[in-house]
Structure 1
Amino acid sequence: MSDEEEFGIGVGGPMVVEVKGRSRTPGSSRSPRRHHNDSDEYSEDDGWSASEDNESDDDSVVPTHRSQRMSQRSPRKNGRSKIDMTPPDKKLKVAEKKVVRFTENGKVDKVITELTKCLALNRILHGAGHWKLARCHANLAEAYLDLKSYAVQAEYHTENAKSIMLNSVTSYTTDQEKADIYDVLFKIYYIQGRALAALKKYNEADQMLAKTEKVIGELNKLSCVDDNQLDDYEIKLTQATARLQWKQKKFALASSQYDKLLKLMEDRYGDDSILLIPVYQECGKISFDL
């Protein structure tokens, strides 16, 4: 099929367009002036443009068959397909910014898509055995668990992350980089423990959360990790432990963990923080089981 047939243009003679009593051929029409669009969120310095992000934030717009076909065509210049020469490190920064933006806007599926891009780009940049690739697996696992409640996918990606960390030589040059590596280990064990608890693999979940506690102990030795960060780690672990013990019907132990959790959160956020509300609700539910 020729280009004319594909776009619905007749073949065999020049097309005549009637406009307000006048006729003209398409060749005589003027090209419309392009309007400058200042609404893009990221500048060209960030490597982002409106044409790069084919997925609009507005899910209400349903693309037609023709628009889908046109969007799949590579832009052409001088009769040749344009090749995207953006370096992968810049693409990674763009994807990371989109993760933040889509998370704030509640675009769950797009968050997963961009995190998957981050995973592929990190593999290109750092290789298959780098701790930053393990961090991407952990971030993707966290998104699956927290945003979509997909425990199986979360366990899968944390297992991949754990395999990378255990089977590769991880080196660091500063205390901050060491803290970043321990942060990845914390997230791996913490997310995997929660995922295993959701899958009712309680003994394995206990083991993962015990490893999480050991990682917090190592983070506590680093001067670059402040008290607020340590409190955040402790709050996450305590809440995960309390919920796990609740699922195991160890109600007395769970109640003790919830008391500890409330104390930690009050010290961290204040007595009147709205973050305490869901914890109080869980405490109320567990009180009926005691």
Structure 2
Amino acid sequence: MKASPIRIPTVSNDTDWDFCFHLSQQTRNPAQYTDDLFGVCQCRETDDDTTVQNDCMSFPKQKLAQAQKKFGQLIEEKMNTKANKELIRCFIFSRIIFGKEHWRCAQALANLAYGYLTLRGLPSQAKKHAESARSTLLTWKQNKTTDKERKGILGSLVILYYTLGTAWLLQNHGKQAYFHLKKAEKNMKELKELNKGDIGGSQVSDKDLTIALGRASLAMHRMNLALAYFEKAIGSVIMAKGYGTSELISLYEEIAQIEQLRRNHEQAIQYLQQAYSICVSSFSEISPQTAEASALLAKAYAMSGESQHRDAVEIYFIKSISTYQTLGSEDYESLTAIEDFCTWLIQNGENQEAYRLLKSTLNSGIYDDCGGKVAETFYNMGSICFAKGEVRKAISLHLQCLMVQILIYGSEHIKSKETKILLTLLQRNLVKYSLDCHGQQPEFLSFGASTKKLEQNWPLNAGVNSKTE
């Protein structure tokens, strides 16, 4: 069971980020950006005319307030990309108003970094902005500041270090992630001391930070530490919202993963049973959340290896698959549940049942754009046939697997190469068998000719609407 809560997309040309980041590296006077960025405020500050100065700065202050308000509205409407653009505007106006060396400008940049992380899922951009803001905030913190300013700086440092820590975690650097998250924890403690136990409306909550620390600990393979953080997070959620809140679902699923890694399978099953019960009560039995929880529970029973759990594995896998089918879900998750169930069936000697299920899935045409799953299905069916001694059929199915892999990944991809090697071995096995039995080489297409023939007859959307023998 994987715990991968955040997908990491790649961006080849993010012009909003590129413009904003390069702006943060420039050295011109902030007042000069007024003409370049907005072309509205044409006045200039002079030594003798403070009225002109105040009039000039009133425009960006007004625009900053508007951008902040619009950001809040877009967040409520879950329009994440547009909300992130408003954070860019907030940073630009903060730089015009306060100057690039002011802590409020760094605060806006830290908020933007957090936005790139949480709204866009872009850790590289988030890291660059957070690192740009860090030096200003740390330098300013050492100067003489009021309590109000210190609270603002500490809150910004919490966001900044949380962003850096989570970004490192998403890039699979557990040690770096833990280092920065501990700094966030230290600054949060100082913030609480100033606010008499309160975090003052920080975007990063105690729970967020505790979960991130747990994930970083898990990434460093410190299981006991990870378990302690997740137990703490679960306890705080229960204290705040009770035992039935849906916020506990993902926490129970992640702590179950930790228990599985510690080989405490019974404890993992208990956590996943709790997650499943909350899904049923919160979303009903026929829901994607319940289908996913059911599949995870089935896998947990299977991983225990206990014979008394055999019926439970089958029950929960069937529940998951039937729920996905009832909902009309034809996505990666439903196909993964089918594949996991078939893997378990094969491990338990039920090859024929696994083959029947894989064949019905392939013939149903539910794969849609999941071409990789088509290839895996052909591969698994071929493996079942080979185990039964049906070598010719195994070769045919693995050829179809290879053709799909070439269409999706290319002929030089590791998956395509591994399937080619397997096909070569299968064909040699068939030749040896035929020579032993008949004393002559069998007539079948060579490897190259086989793939060429398939290529001529195979639809580009292989596996979507095709039928298999």
Q: In the alignment, which residue of structure 1 is the partner of 2:249?
A: 277
- Shift in CA distance, 104/192, structure 1 to aligned 2, threshold 3 Å: same
Deviations 1:51-71 (A, max 9, x none): xxxxxxxxxxxxxxxxxxxxx
Superposed displacement of residue 127, structure 1:
0.7
Q: For residue 241 of structure 2, what is the amino acid of its counterpart?
A: Y
- Identical-pair percentage: 30
Structure-2 separation of matches of 1:216 and 1:142 = 16
Partner residue of 2:239 out of 267, 274, 277: 267
User: Which residue of structure 1 aligns with residue 59 of structure 2?
Assistant: 87
Aligned 8 A contact 2:175 2:220 in 1: no
Tell me, in whole angstroms, the C-alpha distance in 2 between the residues paired with 1:133 and 1:97.
Answer: 17
Q: 1:253 to 1:225 in 2, by over 3 A?
A: closer
Q: How far is 1:84 from its partner?
A: 6.3
CA distance in 2, matches of 1:83, 1:132: 23
Shift of 1:167: 3.7
- Whether 2:134 is the aligned partner of 1:159: answer no
Are 1:189 and 1:208, in contact at CA under 8 Å, matched by a contact in 2? yes
Select 2:207's aligned residue among 235, 238, 242: 235
Q: 1:171 to 1:87 in 2, by over 3 A?
A: farther
1:224 deviates by 5.1
The code of the aligned residue for 1:276 comes to L
Q: Distance in 2 between matches of 1:228 and 1:137?
A: 19
The structure whose RCO (Cα within 8 Å, separation 6+) is larger is 1
Give unpaired runs (5+ residues) of structure 2: 1-38, 43-57, 263-469
| Aligned-partner Cα distance in 2 for 1:229–1:93 | 18
Corresponding position of 1:38: none
The answer to whether the Cα contact below 8 Å between 1:155 and 1:195 also exists between their aligned partners in 2 is yes
Counterpart of 2:80, as a letter, is V
Higher gyration radius (CA) = 2
Instruction: Give the aligned CA root-mean-square deviation in angstroms.
Output: 2.4
1:172 corresponds to which of 129, 145, 148: 145
Deviation at 1:160, TM superposition (A): 0.8
The 8 Å contact of residues 131 and 170 in structure 1, kept in 2 or not, is answered as: no
**Alpha-carbon offset, residue 225 of structure 1:** 4.9
Structure number with the higher helix fraction is 2
Cα shift at 1:255: 1.5
TM-score normalized by the length of structure 2 = 0.41
Letter in 2 for 1:176: K
Which of 71, 77, 88 aligns to 1:105? It is 77
CA distance in 1, matches of 2:233, 2:40: 54
Report SS of the residue matched to 2:261.
coil
Per-residue deviation, 1:83: 4.9
Of residues 132-141 and 277-286 in structure 1, the stretch that sits farther from structure 2 once superposed is 277-286
Deviations 1:178-225 (A, max 9, x none): 222211111111111111111222222222112112212212321455
Q: Displacement of 1:238 after TM fit?
A: 1.1
- d(CA) in 2 for partners of 1:164, 1:116: 18
1:147 lines up with 2:138 in the alignment: no
Contact 1:179 1:225 in 2 (8 A): no
> Could you say which residue in structure 2 is the equivalent of 1:24?
none
Q: 1:159 Cα deviation (Å)? A: 0.3
Residue 153 of structure 1: CA displacement? 0.6
Shift of the 253–161 alpha-carbon distance from structure 1 to 2, 3 Å rule, reads same
- Return the alpha-carbon distance in structure 2 between the equivalents of residues 194 and 203 of structure 1: 11
Change (3 A) 1:179 1:99: same
Aligned to 1:184: 156
Distance 2:199 2:192 in 1: 9
When normalised by structure 1's length, the TM-score is 0.65
1:84/1:123 Cα in 2 relative to 1: closer, same or farther (>3 Å)? closer
CA change 1:228–1:213 in 2 (3 A) is same
Amino acid at match of 2:115: A
In 1, are the aligned partners of 2:223 and 2:258 still within 8 Å (CA)? yes
Q: Unaligned 5+ residue runs, structure 1?
A: 1-81
Q: Aligned match of 1:222 in 176, 194, 198?
A: 194
Residue identity matched to 1:271: Y
Pairwise CA distance, 1:171: 4.4
Cα contact 1:228–1:268 (8 A) shared by 2: no
**Aligned-partner Cα distance in 2 for 1:182–1:287:** 35
1:213 to 145, 168, 185: 185
Cα 1:171/1:266, change in 2 over 3 Å: farther
- Give a deviation string over 1:40-61, Cα, whole Å, max 9, x none: xxxxxxxxxxxxxxxxxxxxxx
